[in-house]
Chains A and B, each alone.
Chain A
Amino acid sequence: MTTSDIHRMTLSQLKRNLEAKNLSSREITESFLKRISETNKSLNAFITITEDLAISHSVEADEIIAKGKAKSLTGLPFAHKDLFCTDGILTTCASKMLSNFVPPYDATVVKRLKDAGIIMIGKTNMDEFAMGSSNETSYYGNVSNPWNLDLSPGGSSGGSAAAVAAGLAPAATGTDTGGSIRQPAALTGVTGIKPTYGRVSRYGMIAFASSLDQGGFFTKSSEDAALLLTEVAGLDEFDSTSSAEPVPDYTASINNSIKGIKIGLIKQHFEEGLDEANKKVLEEALKALGSQGAEIIEIDMPNIGLSVPTYYVVASAECSSNLSRYDGIRFGHRAENFNDLTDFYSKTRGEGFGSEVKRRIMTGTYVLSAGYYDAYYLKAQKVRQLISEDFKNAFEKVNVIAGPTTPSPAFPLGAKMDDPIEMYLNDIFTIGANLAGLPAMSIPCGFVNDLPIGLQLIGKHFGEESILQCGHQYQQITDWHQQVPEDFK
Chain B
Amino acid sequence: MSNHWEVVIGLEIHAQLAAQSKIFSGASTAFGGEPNTQACLVDLGYPGTLPVLNEKAIEMAVRFGLAVDADIASRSIFARKNYFYPDLPKGYQISQLDLPIVKGGKMSILDDSGNEKIIGITRAHLEEDAGKSIHDEFENASGIDLNRAGTPLLEIVSEPDISSAKEAVAYMKKVHSIVRYLGISDGNMQEGSFRCDANVSVKPFSQKELGTRTELKNLNSFKFVEKAIQHEIIRQIEIIEDGGEIVQETRLYDSNLDETRSMRSKEEANDYRYFPDPDLLPVIIDEEYINEIRESLPELPSAKKDRFVKSYQLKSADAEVLTSSKQLADFFEEVDKGTDIDSQSTANWVIGDYMAALNKTDLEIEESKISASDLASLLNKIADQTISGKIAKEVFESMWKGEGSAEEIIERKGLVQITDDSEIENIVNQVIENNPSQVKDYLDGKSQLLGYFVGQIMKETKGKANPQKVNEILRRNLK
Contact = CB atoms under 8 A, between A and B. Distances in A.
A85 interface: yes
B51 interface: yes
Contact of B53 (A206, A238, A240, A329): A240
Contacts of A323: 91
Interface of B is mostly: loop
A424 interface: no
Contacts of B278: 209-211, 241, 318
A93 B47 contact: yes
B391 interface: no
A365 interface: yes
Contact of A321 (B53, B82, B271): B82
A239 B52 CA distance: 7
A228 B50 CA distance: 23
A105 B44 contact: no
B349 interface: no
A345 B44 CA distance: 17
A297 B50 CA distance: 41
Given A317-B275, A325-B91, A368-B273, A341 B86 contact: yes
B89 A330 contact: yes
A369 B90 contact: no
Given A368-B273, A369-B271, A240 B50 contact: yes
A330 B281 contact: no
A103 B80 contact: no
Contact of A324 (B48, B53, B82, B281): B82
Interface residues of B, number: 28
Interface in A207-247: 207, 209-211, 237-241
A238 B47 contact: no
B431 interface: no
Interface string B266-278: 0000010111001
B205 interface: no
Contacts of A136: none
Given A317-B275, A324-B90, A368-B275, A237 B52 contact: yes
The majority secondary structure among interface residues of chain A is loop
Interface in B69-120: 80, 82, 84, 86, 89-92
A68 interface: no
B50 A330 contact: no
A203 B42 CA distance: 11
Given A210-B278, A240-B52, A369-B271, A327 B47 contact: no
Nearest to A211: B278
A107 B48 contact: yes
A329 B48 contact: no
Interface in B255-294: 271, 273-275, 278-281
A331 B48 contact: no
B45 interface: yes
A389 B90 CA distance: 33
Contact of B91 (A93, A318, A321): A321
B48 A321 contact: no
B53 A103 contact: no
A98 interface: yes
A327 B92 CA distance: 12
B47 A91 contact: yes
A21 to B, nearest CB: 38
B84 A203 contact: no
B239 interface: no
B41 interface: yes
A58 B245 CA distance: 76
Contacts of A105: 41, 46, 48
Given A105-B46, A203-B50, A241-B279, 11 more contacts: A84-B48, A85-B47, A98-B47, A203-B48, A210-B279, A239-B50, A239-B52, A240-B53, A323-B91, A325-B47, A368-B275
Interface of A: 84-85, 91, 93, 98, 101, 103-105, 107, 202-207, 209-211, 237-241, 317-318, 320-321, 323-325, 327, 329-331, 341, 345, 365, 368-370, 373, 377
Interface of B: 41, 44-53, 80, 82, 84, 86, 89-92, 144, 271, 273-275, 278-281
